[in-house]
A and B are shown apart, each in its own frame.
Chain A
């Protein structure tokens, strides 16, 4: 990670840097970290994400049953679905198919995290590539790329994702790629504007004076300096990715078996049971909301901590 930190900010606090009054000379990143540690919202977000991560990683150990297993198939009837605490061995009850709700929530955490992280990573990679080309080359390349990004932005996110998923077929990979592509515009714009803002910087002028090629200059100065600020934006799109993934599988684009352990999917089938088993909708819904809350809290605190405007307060 250290290679992407902006060298300009590290350890070279200017005499009038407000961070200095804490008594020790701190750089932007260290200062941000210290501020994060004091921010209760950031701690809450980190704890939520930490728990969620642990559950997702330890799912095989924590979950009493497999994600697609139907251990309680014989205990459900068309009019009754055992709720939380009503049946021994199934602390959160059963769903319409006879699956163990607790196990499905745990496996669902893994599915959501995988989709969220992979799709955001794809969006980040794609957006960075477009952003570097646009910001680095400028001219007509910049124009063409930004018009393309405009077109992507003119289609609502969910519809864009749905259209892509329609081409790729109904499966989890399609959802990841679809959400990833719908996030490309955000990252592309961020990286481009961050690179453009350095255009007149002294160190670029110095590099030009040394006669370095444009590629070398772009790769060694504006790009590394811009990547950090763009990457720290990732937690917020992660929250959107978790919600969008749930929305897409809620609409039925995930493919696979109907009883697949996925939060959005669980909500699809909870729809018809709302009157007799509302917990089937509330539990996975709460999981989605809490996870998104964790990423949002962490993401916003991070952004606030790194924003020079709020740093001065």
Chain B
């Protein structure tokens, strides 16, 4: 197990190295160069020259790259142009918000997606099956931000059931230790604050979770359809095993491998979706911060975030691969 993990982390190094070169070149190819991005387009040539000297942008590219790489390895991702605070610190304060949102979205997507996909396959060709196919088709084709608008209009504006934006009602005086608002409320015993934060998560969570939901329904359905006619299922039936055991231990468990892979692959989609969802719901997480970074051309933030995501992506893929051996013991043998 440890050897597998070590090997995977070693494989990550060339990818990150390549990515760092691309990002380095990306910043140098920004219109007007990094100095203009820092100072804005109306900067005087003298100011640009001074910044170039100060940050070393006038030195040869390989030297600049080595300095940049050295800082990255020490965990220094630079300072945000928009806010003037270290990039890592900005991420640390905003990441919990997006994490909370993503967890709600995934609970929604997995909690509904797997049972629905399973039931659709069990009732293949009947109304429930057709319904799930149509539903997943709609889920894939409706843009996240449009869905966010529909939810916001219906549930927040028209029927006033849920809050339209933000993370928590500003009138609630809540204590925040972890920046996970729901968790904070539970830990401090301020249950009304936790409940309020949870209500703020429902609409954006559903908006963000719908595409993963649609994909999980499809994969689960296809996977169960393939597995339920397998020879070992027929054998299990012939042996006279209880239908419940057959469904749980034979069909569902074997059908889960592609589903778990798919869930792991949703990360990119969730991050892109978070940028859009957080924009519509004025939700103060990483997504909204990135959107502002895009407009301010806040390249240290974008750079740092892309590296961060690439590492996260690799880690999640690793967890997915390791979870195979839990689900399917045959993988362990190899």
| Chain A contacts to B: CB under 8 angstroms | 147-148, 150-151, 154-159, 162-163, 166-167, 169, 239, 243, 246-247, 250-253, 267, 270-271, 274-275, 278, 281-282, 285-286, 288-289, 292-293, 296-297
CB distance from A54 to the nearest CB of B (A): 20
Q: Judging by beta carbons under 8 Å apart, are A293 and B149 in contact?
A: no
Q: A151 to B295, Cβ gap below 8 A?
A: no
The residues of B that contact A271 with a CB separation of less than 8 Å are: 149, 280
Q: List 27 A-B contacts (CB under 8 A).
A: A147-B14, A151-B19, A155-B19, A155-B268, A156-B271, A157-B268, A158-B276, A159-B275, A159-B302, A159-B306, A167-B29, A239-B141, A247-B143, A247-B272, A251-B291, A251-B294, A252-B295, A271-B280, A274-B152, A274-B153, A285-B143, A285-B146, A288-B146, A292-B140, A293-B138, A293-B141, A296-B141
Q: Are B149 and A285 in contact (CB under 8 A)?
A: yes
Whether B172 sits at the interface, judged by CB under 8 Å, is no
Which chain A residue lies CB-closest to B275?
A: A158
| Min C-beta distance of A271 to chain B, whole Å | 7
> Would you give the 0/1 interface string for B270-300, flagging 1 where the beta carbon is closer than 8 Å to chain A?
0110011001100000000011001101010
Contact B146 A292 (CB under 8 A): no
Closest CB in chain B relative to A81 CB, distance in Å: 15
In the complex the two chains form, what is the Cα distance from A210 to B224 in whole Å? 48
Return chain B residues, CB-CB under 8 Å to A155.
Answer: 19, 268, 306, 309-310
**Bound form: Cα–Cα A296–B137 in Å:** 8
- Whether B18 contacts A289 by the Cβ 8 Å rule is no
Of A166, A281, A296, the residue contacting B146 (CB under 8 A) is: A281
Main secondary structure of the interface of A (DSSP, over half): helix
Cα–Cα, bound, A158→B299 (Å): 16
B169 partner residues in chain A, CB cutoff 8 A: none
Complex CA–CA separation, A252 to B31 (angstroms): 18
Task: Give residues in B with beta carbon < 8 Å to A.
Answer: 14-15, 18-19, 22, 26, 29-31, 137-138, 140-146, 149-150, 152-153, 157, 267-269, 271-272, 275-276, 279-280, 290-291, 294-295, 297, 299, 302, 305-306, 309-310, 313-314
A-B contact count (CB 8 A): 117
Q: Which of B290, B294, B309 has the most CB of A within 10 A?
A: B294
Distance in Å: Cβ of B27 to nearest Cβ of chain A: 9
Docked Cα-Cα span, A156 to B267, in Å, equals 8
Residues of chain A within 8 A of B269, CB atoms compared? 156
C-alpha spacing A235/B193, complex, angstroms: 47
- Bound state CA distance, A25 and B17, in angstroms? 54
Determine which of A148, A162, A169, A253 lies in contact with B31 in the assembled complex, contact meaning CB atoms within 8 Å: A169
In the assembled complex, which residues on chain A have CB atoms less than 8 Å from the CB atom of B138? 289, 293
Interface pair A154/B310, CB less than 8 Å apart: yes
Q: Would B157 and A275 count as touching, CB distance under 8 A?
A: yes
CB of B210, distance to nearest CB on chain A (Å): 12
B143 adjacent to A148 (CB under 8 Å): no
